[in-house]
């Protein structure tokens, strides 16, 4: 039986003292995300269980280009790649020599790794959003309106209007936290970055939606 490695995701754990109205939070988040057409950054990821025990660490680099294009490369402790060209999402595991292909439908775009490549308006329409601020850090808490999602809560934390930290919490209480570094916004990203041709001998699995 093939054991799949955990999919790279996004996250954060911050508690803020003052929470604004949901409508204000959604409007503010939309204003911050709308100008961002491309986003490039290094990342450090940690996955914690419901008790706070560390389950996994990973690091790598990500590229995002709206609409719907995304590349998420895990370099350590193992290699893994998630690529979206705006129509399909490919998960490639070089150790298993396996590539899984899915259509980029609504449910797939609700996964944290692809969430940011969508429209800011669609994001705030799909989630209840509240905002809190502590010093120069703004944190938005997103709760999905549709129960058919892979997480129950997503927190997005900004410094200087740049996303630097995310936290995803699922129904078991497991938290996936991602810290971004060397952030570049609205830089040129080649289209080839969002295309992937599986190496010869790769087992390609197409999952029907």
* Closest CA relative to residue 34, chosen from 141, 124, 138: 124
Which pTM does this prediction carry? 0.80
Q: How many CB atoms lie within 10 A of CB 103?
A: 13
Query: Each residue of 5-22: pLDDT tens digit?
Result: 544 443 222 223 333 445
Phi, psi angle pair for 54, to nearest 5°: -75, 125
Residue 47 vs residue 24, higher pLDDT: 47
**DSSP state string for 5-19:** PPPP--------S-B
Given a cut of 80, whether residue 197 has pLDDT beyond it is: yes
For residue 43, give both structure tokens.
């990342």
Confidence of residue 201 (pLDDT cuts 50, 70, 90): very high
Strand order in the sheet with 175-185: 127-134, 137-144, 153-159, 162-169, 175-185, 38-48, 54-65, 69-76, 80-85, 88-93, 98-103, 203-207
Query: Each residue of 133-156: pLDDT tens digit?
Result: 999 999 999 998 887 777 889 899
CB 166 within 8 A of CB 155: yes
CB 115 within 8 A of CB 10: yes
């Amino acid at each position: 039986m093939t054991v799949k490695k955990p999919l790279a995701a996004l996250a954060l754990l911050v508690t803020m003292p003052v929470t604004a109205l949901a409508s204000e939070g959604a409007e503010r988040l939309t204003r911050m995300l709308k100008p961002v057409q491309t986003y490039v950054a290094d990342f450090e990821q940690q996955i914690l269980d419901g008790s706070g025990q560390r389950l996994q660490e990973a690091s790598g680099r990500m590229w995002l280009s709206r609409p719907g294009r995304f590349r998420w490369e895990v370099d350590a402790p193992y290699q893994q790649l998630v690529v979206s060209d705006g129509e399909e999402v490919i998960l490639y595991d070089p150790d298993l020599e396996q590539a899984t292909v899915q259509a980029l439908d609504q449910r797939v775009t609700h996964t944290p790794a692809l969430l940011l490549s969508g429209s800011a308006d669609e994001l705030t329409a799909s989630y209840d959003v509240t905002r809190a601020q502590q010093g120069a850090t703004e944190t938005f808490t997103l709760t999905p309106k549709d129960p058919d999602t892979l997480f129950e809560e997503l927190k997005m934390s900004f410094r200087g209007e740049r996303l630097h930290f995310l936290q995803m919490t699922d129904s078991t209480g497991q938290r996936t936290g991602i810290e971004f570094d060397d952030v570049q916004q609205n830089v040129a990203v080649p289209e080839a970055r969002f295309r992937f041709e599986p190496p010869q001998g790769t087992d390609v699995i197409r999952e029907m939606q």
